[in-house]
Amino acid sequence: RQNFCSNSTVLRIRTACHSCSITMLIGCRSGFKPTCVSSLVVLLCCRYYIQTPSMQLGLSGCHFECYKEQEVKDCCPGYWGPDCMECPDRADRPCSGRGVCSDGLGGNGTCSCQVIRTGGHRSVLTVVFFFRSAVCSCSHGLCDSGLTGDGRCTCFSGYKGPTCEQELPSCAALSCGQNSRCMEEALTGQLVCQCLPGYQKSADQSINPCLRRVCHVHATCLHTGPNQHSCTCDPGYSGDGRVCMEVDPCQTHRGGCSAESARCVYDGPGKSHCECLPGFSSLSDGSCSLKDSCKPDSCHKNANCSTVEPGQVQSVVYRFPLSLCWMFREPDEDHLRLRKV
């Protein structure tokens, strides 16, 4: 078919391990030839096992390599997809000569533009070229649209007609599923049902990357489409989903705790609580209040006692005329004594 090229490849297999004495009786699989050096078969050492009623015996043996040359069909350079469509711009100069086209049978026709430098940094631009379907309508094919197009449809494999609306009888007989297409197998050339890109064989189910560990262990994976997903960190963690770090609320504004009366205690990812400092008591609303450190013998009977700091009190004299002068003496045995001058 047009735009398909054949590449020669060599398939190599090894025979089963066997006793070296019977090597001449061992042959390669049908279609394969033994690999020889100077017309001699190269023997490789191996071990084979014989099962007896009571044990399994391991013996030294030989095996050799066989090869087969085979033509494998693929898209020619500059063409992509199961139908080998031409890469954007043109096949001999894809992506305007400034990038690399995703070509081959497994390609999708997108252009990865060449590396450019902006402010000393390297960046790669990926540009997806879309065919303008407004110029012509192709049911199962691609339209030759654009300024230089002629409006014709290039049908996908399995379809024919001016707008690719007619399914070939041989493909219709296969009854391919919704997410698969009738196309020629690369090795045999037979028409088979193959899954579309992003789907896998199992009733043509969409490939779900979330079935593998693609996100962080503390992240949730969401299947958003064929072979597409998004990762979101779990509550209490922050990051892009591929890397999630524990969030410590105490590292931000002390977890909402007062710097004068409480300290922040880390309880786990995204969790913390405030713990009152010594000399403070916890209130019902979660705040901390200064404990009353005054005792019956903390101050003189003619003075008021008030707590100014945790464990520290202050005496205030009262009920004496202002015309009298009073002098405080240093407390003796935690008592504040007053003496008239």
Q: For the CA atoms of the chain, what is the radius of gyration?
A: 42
- State residue 220's pLDDT score: 92
Residue type, 258: S
Q: What is the pLDDT of residues 87-110, one digit of tens each?
A: 887 788 888 788 888 888 778 888
> pLDDT tier at 116 (50, 70, 90 boundaries)?
low
- Closest to 278 (Cα-Cα) out of 270, 264, 290: 290
> pLDDT tier at 115 (50, 70, 90 boundaries)?
low
Q: Could you please report the per-residue DSSP string of 263-324?
A: EEEEEETTEEEEEEPTTEEE-TTS-EEE-----TTSS-TTEEEEEEETTEEEEEE-SS-TTS
Return phi, psi of residue 132, to 5°.
-80, 100
pLDDT > 50? residue 324: no
> pLDDT tier at 339 (50, 70, 90 boundaries)?
very low
What percentage of the chain exceeds 90 in pLDDT?
5
Q: Quick one: CA torsion of 158, 137, 163, 185, rounded to 10 degrees?
A: -10
pLDDT > 80? residue 19: yes
| Burial class of residue 215 (count of CB atoms within 10 Å of its CB; 0-12, 13-18, 19+) | buried
- State residue 200's pLDDT score: 66
pLDDT > 50? residue 46: yes
pLDDT > 50? residue 13: yes
Q: Which residues pair with 13 in a beta bridge?
A: 66
- State residue 224's pLDDT score: 85
Q: How far apart are CA 60 and CA 17, in angstroms?
A: 9
Q: Which residue has the tokens 């591929």?
A: 242
pLDDT > 70? residue 312: yes
- Closest to 226 (Cα-Cα) out of 247, 204, 246, 248: 204
| Burial class of residue 223 (count of CB atoms within 10 Å of its CB; 0-12, 13-18, 19+) | middle
- State residue 201's pLDDT score: 67
- Closest to 157 (Cα-Cα) out of 128, 185, 188: 185
| Burial class of residue 291 (count of CB atoms within 10 Å of its CB; 0-12, 13-18, 19+) | middle
- State residue 128's pLDDT score: 45
Residue type, 103: D
CB burial of 17-30 (b: ≥16 within 10 Å; e: otherwise) equals bbeeeebeeeebee
Q: How many residues does the chain have?
A: 341
> pLDDT tier at 139 (50, 70, 90 boundaries)?
confident
Q: How far apart are CA 204 and CA 193, in angstroms?
A: 10
- State residue 232's pLDDT score: 93
Sign of CA dihedral 90, 93, 94, 97: negative
Q: Which residue has the tokens 């599923």?
A: 177
Quote the mean pLDDT of the chain.
77
- pLDDT higher at 292 or 206: 292
> pLDDT tier at 329 (50, 70, 90 boundaries)?
very low
Judge if pTM exceeds 0.75: no
Give me the CATH topology for the region 250-290. Answer: Laminin (2.10.25)
| Domain definitions of the chain by residue range | 4-74, 75-200, 209-244, 250-290, 303-340
Other beta carbons less than 10 A from residue 182's beta carbon: 23
What percentage of the chain exceeds 70 in pLDDT?
80
Tell me the CB-side half-sphere exposure of residue 77, using CA atoms within 13 A: 4
- State residue 333's pLDDT score: 44
Summarize the confidence of residues 119-130 as an average pLDDT.
47
Q: What is the pLDDT of residues 225-281, one digit of tens each?
A: 777 889 999 999 988 888 888 888 888 888 889 888 889 998 989 999 999 998 888
